A = this chain, B = another copy of it.
Amino acid sequence: MGTYELYYWPSIQGRGEFVRLALEEGGAKYVDVARTAGGMEAMMRWLRGDGQSAALHPFAPPFLKDGKRVIAQTAAILSYLGPRLGLVPKAEASQFEALAIQLTIADLVAEVHDTHHPIAGSQYYEDQKPAAKQRAASFTAERIPKFLGWLEQRLERDGGPYLFGRRVSYVDLSVFQILRGLSYAFPNAMKPIGARVPHLLELADRVAARPRLARYLASDRRLPFNEQGIFRHYPELDARAARAKKAPKRGRRRA
């Protein structure tokens, strides 16, 4: 087995983290290229398509190099790595189901990004704060419960301990990541939501306790969450949801 090359922004977890978790849990040999000397320039050359064939010109990080192959898009990378690292069942139907769940997680991640950048990724957060507050309010009140509720239902009905039964899959690692990220970004909003998805929280703890993952999370290869990444903690985007959560409680007393 060769050495995989992961290309992703070197100072954030971002979308690259979903791939890092799979590589770590799968025990793969890999280089996190942009975090090595000269690696950032190498990544930018790929993104410009300098001297590369068109087929190997990714739209955006993360992308994975496996020998001569270049795979782009987080969910596609995970779908590629899954069977190779034993992180997805062998049945074709399960692999497509894993991909579909991963794509639903990708939709959630894109919505998380848009809570702080509802107008334009090219503009500062500070310049789109009013819209960000509105978007974050609807995201925390409506979307997080919908996404996590669906995953909880999926896990509950199938019995666990993981989404595909007894063996951990790349989708479980991604569930761990979104739960940690959402709790970092929206601690107030997540308190009441977390109480409604107990099996998911257990799943995340189960993932974090796996020997390889535990070693990774304790290492300096695991970057901390920060306000340049996708999951950002801006108290003003979280507080509103916390207030909104109190209202239904008072409402319920009337019933």
In chain B, what residue has the closest Cβ to A105? B59
Q: How far is the CA of A151 from the CA of B58 in the complex (A)?
A: 10
Cross-chain contact B154 with A57 (CB below 8 angstroms): yes
Within 8 A of B (CB), among A96-137: 96-97, 99-100, 103-104, 106-107, 110, 114, 118-120, 122-123, 128, 131, 134-135
Cross-chain contact B100 with A76 (CB below 8 angstroms): yes
Tell me, rounded to whole Å, the shortest Cβ–Cβ distance linking A47 to chain B.
10
Q: How far is the CA of A233 from the CA of B104 in the complex (A)?
A: 27
Tell me, rounded to whole Å, the shortest Cβ–Cβ distance linking A74 to chain B.
8
Within 8 A of B (CB), among A68-103: 69, 71-73, 75-76, 79-80, 93, 96-97, 99-100, 103
Q: How far is the CA of A138 from the CA of B55 in the complex (A)?
A: 28
Cross-chain contact B58 with A71 (CB below 8 angstroms): no
- Residues in chain B near residue A104, CB distance under 8 A: 59-60, 72-73
Cross-chain contact A53 with B157 (CB below 8 angstroms): yes
Known: A153-B54, A154-B54. Is A100-B73 also a contact (CB below 8 A)? yes
A107 contact from B57, B58, B110, Cβ within 8 A: B110
Q: What are 26 residue pairs bridging A and B, where the CB atoms are less than 8 Å apart in the complex?
A: A53-B157, A53-B158, A54-B153, A54-B157, A55-B97, A55-B154, A55-B158, A57-B154, A58-B100, A59-B147, A59-B150, A69-B93, A69-B96, A71-B96, A71-B100, A72-B104, A73-B99, A75-B103, A103-B103, A114-B118, A118-B119, A118-B131, A119-B134, A119-B135, A120-B134, A120-B139
